[in-house]
Amino acid sequence: MTPPQPDRAPRPRSSRASSGRYSLWRLLREGFTGQRGWSRAWAKAQARAGYRVVIVGGGGHGLATAYYLATEYGIRDVAVVERGPIGLGNVGRNTTIIRSNYFLPDNIRFYEFSLKLWEGLERRLNFNAMVSQRGTLNLFHTEAQRDLMTRRANQMRLLGVDAEGVSRDEVRRLVPLVDLDNGRYPVLGGFLQPRGGTVRHDAVAWGYARGASEAGVDIIEHCEVTGLRREGARITGVETTRGPIEAETVCLTVAGHSSVLAAMAGLTLPIESHVLQAFVTEGIKPVLDVVLTYGAGHFYVSQSDKGGLVFGGAIDGYNTYGQRGTLPMAEEVAASAVTLLPGVARLKILRQWGGVMDMSMDGSPIISRTPLAGLIFNGGWCYGGFKAIPAGGMTTAHLIARGEAHPAAMHLDLARFAAGRTCDERGIGPHPYLH
């Protein structure tokens, strides 16, 4: 593949509305002048006939890839093509958790790279994404689990990443809401990553969109890709509901619809789609200031700034593209919730929703070239792709711009499945619904 060269003559930005710098001073000024100075955060672009790079999917990874292509690698002749409004896919449906507490060294490095990018992101984008490093606390309930978590914490520390063992008394102090003794599996202790936390998910899509648009990227909403244009073994563009668009490189960042788009190129991916649900309760006073995960079931919870408890569990086991989960899974999640936090039984659930997960065969993502020249793939994020957005965007942009994998993402190539060097974080094997 010939890597695209940086733009020699970046397109003029004069036609592009700039939303200006956001600051306290500007807020005050707008407050005193009738809020008349605000403009669109990103330009509503119309598609041109061709681009150097067309990114399919305006979720977190697509927008971040476009942003880093333009600002880090100097490639501005880029379009992001999204079938609906940006940000209504999984980037706006997740439970907002960020962390790098993985076990496999390659995964720790990749997610730590992402966490470091999160730490500087708001300043870089000049956008408040409400990055809150309140800590992620994983509980353990058996001695075997204590061993596993200690090993994981040690592995992280060896790689310079923050991780702390937490005693039972410390868990009691950190999360008074937890019932330590009366659950089916009493809490023995925990494992804390103090730098983990949450980020307001839709602000991430908006912030990257604003940054990309100002750097010259066209963000084209309500434009569904219906086919991939192919000449022999090369992809040359996309067919859309608004007509064809040519491209030197097409990059798929469509998360739950990865298999559908790959099939348009005649490719079958080691990915299955499943639905994952999330729930939010009515708002209550502050009771939980860490992200908490239950070790004896699949349940994780945090408290939003509005006061609702935001929680989720495992994916539904069947394959689907439907964005709604089933009652049995809702019951399973609720059962875990009240076992760990009995007080939750008295709260009303305000909202429940689902998102389609692209579950890979080893539970790790894919950022890779494909057998077709001109086609790059970013996907297989399972239910962990939100935290990976900055690193996913940066490494995918690197792959497009330089024609070779970014050092942090070399283990995420598609060829690993054929070569038998899978990146199976949980050691579960090719059972996507278990990862």
Stretch that binds ligand FAD, among 44-52, 55-63, 189-197, 395-403 (CB under 6 A): 55-63
Supply 154's token pair. 């040690």
What number of other Cβ atoms are within 10 A of residue 176's Cβ?
A: 11
Looking at the Cβ atoms of 140 and 381, the one nearer to ligand FAD is 381
Looking at the Cβ atoms of 54 and 215, the one nearer to ligand FAD is 54
Name the β-bridge partners of 218.
79
Nearest distance from C-beta of residue 239 to ligand FAD, angstroms: 10
Is residue 82 within 8 A of residue 273, CB to CB? The reply is: no
Count of chain residues binding ligand FAD (CB under 6 A): 38
Stretch that binds ligand FAD, among 57-65, 137-145, 157-165, 401-409 (CB under 6 A): 57-65
Nearest distance from C-beta of residue 366 to ligand FAD, angstroms: 12
Stretch that binds ligand FAD, among 2-10, 83-91, 136-144, 183-191 (CB under 6 A): 83-91
CA distance 218 to 53: 11
Question: Is there binding between residue 209 and ligand FAD (CB under 6 A)?
Answer: no
**417: three-class secondary structure by DSSP:** helix
Question: Is there binding between residue 207 and ligand FAD (CB under 6 A)?
Answer: no
Write the DSSP symbol of residue 130. -
CA distance 207 to 196: 20
Looking at the Cβ atoms of 8 and 356, the one nearer to ligand FAD is 356
Nearest distance from C-beta of residue 121 to ligand FAD, angstroms: 14
Question: Is there binding between residue 390 and ligand FAD (CB under 6 A)?
Answer: no
Question: Is there binding between residue 301 and ligand FAD (CB under 6 A)?
Answer: no
Question: Is there binding between residue 91 and ligand FAD (CB under 6 A)?
Answer: yes
Name the β-bridge partners of 358.
273
Write the DSSP symbol of residue 84. S
Q: How far apart are the first and last CA of the chain?
A: 33
Question: Is there binding between residue 57 and ligand FAD (CB under 6 A)?
Answer: yes
The DSSP element (H or E) to which 174 belongs, if any, is helix 168-174
Question: Is there binding between residue 196 and ligand FAD (CB under 6 A)?
Answer: no
CA distance 211 to 21: 11
Considering only residues 341-380, where is the footprint of ligand FAD by CB under 6 A? 355
Q: Is the dihedral of CA 310, 109, 139, 163 positive or negative?
A: negative
What number of other Cβ atoms are within 10 A of residue 120's Cβ?
A: 11
> Binding residue for ligand FAD (CB under 6 A) from 4, 43, 47, 61?
61
Question: Is there binding between residue 47 and ligand FAD (CB under 6 A)?
Answer: no
CA distance 40 to 43: 7
Chain residue at closest Cβ approach to ligand FAD: 59
> Binding residue for ligand FAD (CB under 6 A) from 82, 112, 316, 413?
82
**157: three-class secondary structure by DSSP:** helix
Stretch that binds ligand FAD, among 13-21, 22-30, 382-390, 427-435 (CB under 6 A): 382-390
Question: Is there binding between residue 312 and ligand FAD (CB under 6 A)?
Answer: yes
Residue 400 sits at φ, ψ, to 5 deg, of: -70, -45
Write the DSSP symbol of residue 54. E
Residues 6+ apart with CB under 8 A from 329: 277, 313, 314, 316
Nearest distance from C-beta of residue 91 to ligand FAD, angstroms: 3
Question: Is there binding between residue 83 and ligand FAD (CB under 6 A)?
Answer: yes
Which residues are near ligand FAD by CB under 6 A? 56-62, 81-84, 89-91, 93-97, 224-225, 253-257, 261, 276-278, 312, 355, 381, 383-387
